[in-house]
């Protein structure tokens, strides 16, 4: 059993980092031996590819020309702020049959799509399971930015690998409920999301195997890597300002 676990872990951690145009792409092995590609676009915008399928997360035209990317099978929107929701980027990413998943306010702005609320779980295809989890501010005076129960984070399960995309949140107590997370994206910029100490605390609450800080602006993000030394969490820093 220990030998099998070692093989699974080694498979997950094996990856290559490439450059696609102006964007870095990490390719990782999933638990079932498939290939997962993550394109780091900018800020909170990501593209995830698995088994020939494309998932766009919070696409925004300011960060990329989405007409140059493959059309999306799934588009995920965490919340309605302009640095996460852009109708032009969504339109450029769509094709016939594209499934848009969003929080309620975003769905109203877009005028279509499937609403997921905190606690919802959905299996829209045979290759993907999506869980919507809380994302909100807790620091006094900052609750207005991302109030509780409004916005989503998402957990994606692809090829047995569990990916947590936090959206805009602080180190909320619900993070302790996250289980078996392989890859996590945590935002690290106050006053809207987390400080470095908050992000380090958040990571320790659920111990992802790999942590990508994102949405970090001018934060000295190398400090997060230092803060998590010896924690068992591997911090990988990519260009996600």
Residues 42-73 pLDDT 10s: 999 999 999 999 999 999 999 999 999 999 99
Whether pLDDT at 4 is above 90: no
- The residue behind tokens 């990490």 is 26
Rounded distance, CA 80 to CA 69, Å? Answer: 22
Phi, psi (degrees; rounded to nearest 5) at 206: -135, -5
Instruction: Give the residue from 146, 128, 126 showing the smallest Cα distance to 136.
Output: 146
CATH number at residue 55: 3.60.15.10
For 19-54, give the DSSP string: EETTEEEEEEE-TTS-EEEEEEEETTEEEEEETTEE
What tokens does 92 get?
């450029």
Residues 21-29: what's their mean pLDDT? 92
pLDDT tens-digit readout, 67-80: 999 999 999 999 99
Domain contains 205: yes
Mapped onto helix, strand or coil, the DSSP state of residue 99 is: strand
Question: Mean of the pLDDT values across residues 87-101?
Answer: 98
Q: Is residue 49 part of a domain?
A: yes
What percent of the chain is modeled with pLDDT above 90? 89
Decide: 37 and 25 in contact? Cβ < 8 Å.
Answer: yes
Task: Say how many domains are in the chain.
Answer: 1
Structural domain boundaries enclosing 110: 2-235
Distance CA 47, CA 65 (A): 13
Span 187-215, pLDDT tens digits: 999 889 999 999 999 999 999 999 999 99
Domain assignment of residue 212, yes or no: yes
Computed over every residue of the chain, the mean pLDDT equals 93
* Whether the predicted pLDDT of 175 surpasses 90: yes
Q: Give the residue, 5 or 156, on which the prediction is more confident.
A: 156
Contact at 8 Å (CB) between 42 and 63?
yes
| Per-residue model confidence (pLDDT) at position 13 | 53
In a domain, 116, yes or no: yes
Please indicate, yes or no, if residue 86 is contained in any of the structural domains: yes
pTM of the predicted model as reported, rounded to 2 decimal places: 0.92
pLDDT of amino acid 9: 45
pLDDT above 50: residue 10: no
In the predicted structure, residue 7 carries a pLDDT above the cut 70: no
Q: What is the DSSP string of 185-204?
A: EEE--TTTS--HHHHHHHHH
Give 162 or 241, the one with higher predicted confidence.
162
Note whether residue 240 is domain-resident: no
Instruction: Judge contact between 193 and 219, C-beta under 8 A.
Output: no
Nearest Cα to 131, choosing from 108, 162, 160? 162
Cβ atoms < 10 Å from Cβ of 213: 25
pLDDT of residue 14 exceeding 70:
no
Asked whether residue 129 is domain-assigned, the answer is yes
- The answer to whether residue 241 is domain-embedded is no
């Amino acid at each position: 059993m220990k030998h099998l676990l070692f093989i699974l872990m080694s498979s997950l951690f094996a990856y290559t980092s490439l450059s696609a145009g102006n964007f870095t792409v990490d390719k990782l092995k999933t638990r079932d031996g498939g290939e997962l590609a993550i394109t780091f676009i900018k800020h909170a915008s990501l593209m995830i590819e698995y088994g020939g399928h494309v998932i766009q997360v919070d696409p925004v035209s300011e960060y990329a020309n989405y007409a140059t990317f493959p059309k999306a099978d799934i588009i995920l929107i965490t919340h309605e702020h302009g640095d996460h929701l852009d109708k032009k980027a969504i339109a450029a990413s769509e094709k016939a049959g594209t499934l848009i998943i969003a929080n309620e306010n975003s769905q109203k702005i877009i005028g279509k799509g499937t609403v997921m609320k905190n606690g919802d779980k959905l299996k829209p295809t045979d290759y993907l399971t999506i869980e919507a989890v809380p994302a909100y501010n807790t620091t006094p005076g900052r609750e207005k930015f991302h109030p509780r129960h409004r916005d989503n984070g998402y957990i994606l399960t692809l090829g047995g690998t569990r990916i947590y995309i936090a959206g805009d949140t602080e180190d909320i107590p619900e993070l302790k409920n996250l289980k078996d997370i392989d890859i996590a994206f945590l935002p690290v910029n106050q006053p809207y999301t987390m400080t470095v100490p908050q992000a380090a605390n958040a990571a320790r609450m659920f111990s992802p195997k790999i942590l990508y800080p994102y949405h970090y602006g001018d934060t000295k993000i190398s400090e997060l890597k230092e803060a998590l030394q010896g924690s068992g969490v591997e911090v990988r820093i990519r260009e996600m300002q």
